[in-house]
């Protein structure tokens, strides 16, 4: 079979869905390559900063690596702005959705809300509420999100910082995204 015959999903057969599942498994093996390509695209995203979004992400991941953070946090930092190009108004949520099957609830929450926490450093200069993060003060991960932004995001726009190149992180990315760790359907809704 090269293609399914149904035109409406309700008319698909078990054989057709088994065929599609096999194709999906093969496709998913290439996820790390697609994610790496998306990271590379950050090299030409939003201008105006002294460095690219890719370099920003590499700086954060490098700082986390040298600080001894676990791989999940290093990966989260590396991909926290992956949504900038396609979801400029909801980039945090997009990055969190991509990471969700691979990270803990804590890391998912931090990435999902990092945009609000990052506002602490700039919103008061543009008429926004720098304390908007206080909406989440009762979260068990509030301090973790502050640390994420303070140590690995807001301070990673330095053209003189020598970050590890993307190639340093590629083996980590390939290993980390080799299969979902938290793929329970009830947690993905």
pLDDT tens digits for 70-83?
Answer: 999 999 999 999 99
CATH of the domain at 180: 1.10.3210.10
Indicate if the alpha-carbon torsion angle 59, 65, 69, 75 is positive or negative. Answer: positive
Rounded to whole angstroms, the Cα distance separating 163 from 55 reads 8
Tell me: the pLDDT tens digits for 20-53?
999 999 999 999 999 999 999 999 988 899 999 9
Rounded to whole angstroms, the Cα distance separating 172 from 159 reads 24
Is 2 among the domain residues? Answer: no
Where do the H-state alpha helices sit in 100-132? 105-118
Cα distances (Å, whole numbers) of residue 183 to 18, 20, 178: 19, 19, 13
Tell me: the pLDDT tens digits for 116-167?
999 999 999 999 999 999 999 999 999 999 999 999 999 999 999 999 999 9
Q: Which domain holds residue 149?
A: 14-187
Is 9 among the domain residues? Answer: no
Is 56 among the domain residues? Answer: yes
Rounded to whole angstroms, the Cα distance separating 76 from 56 reads 13
Rounded to whole angstroms, the Cα distance separating 72 from 8 reads 39
Is 113 among the domain residues? Answer: yes
DSSP result, 113-139: HHHHHHGGGTGGGTTS-TTGGGGGTTS
pTM for the model: 0.92
13 is written with which tokens? Answer: 């057969």
- Per-residue confidence band for 107, with pLDDT thresholds at 50, 70 and 90: very high
């Amino acid at each position: 079979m090269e293609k399914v015959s149904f035109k409406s999903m309700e008319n698909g057969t078990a054989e057709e869905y088994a065929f599609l599942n096999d194709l999906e498994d093969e496709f998913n093996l290439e996820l790390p390559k697609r994610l790496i390509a998306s990271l590379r695209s950050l090299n030409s995203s939003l201008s105006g900063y002294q460095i690219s979004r890719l370099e920003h992400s590499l700086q954060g991941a490098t700082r986390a690596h040298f600080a001894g953070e676990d791989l999940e946090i290093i990966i989260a930092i590396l991909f926290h702005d992956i949504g900038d190009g396609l979801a400029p108004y909801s980039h945090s949520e997009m990055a969190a959705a991509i990471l969700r099957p691979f990270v803990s609830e804590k890391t998912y929450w931090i990435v999902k809300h990092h945009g609000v926490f990052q506002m602490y450093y700039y919103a008061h200069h543009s008429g926004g509420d720098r304390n908007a993060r206080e909406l989440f003060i009762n979260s068990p991960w509030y301090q973790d999100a502050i640390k994420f932004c303070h140590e690995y995001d807001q301070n990673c726009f330095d053209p003189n910082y020598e970050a590890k190149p993307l190639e340093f992180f590629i083996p980590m990315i390939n290993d980390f995204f080799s299969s979902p760790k938290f793929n329970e359907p009830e947690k993905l809704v």
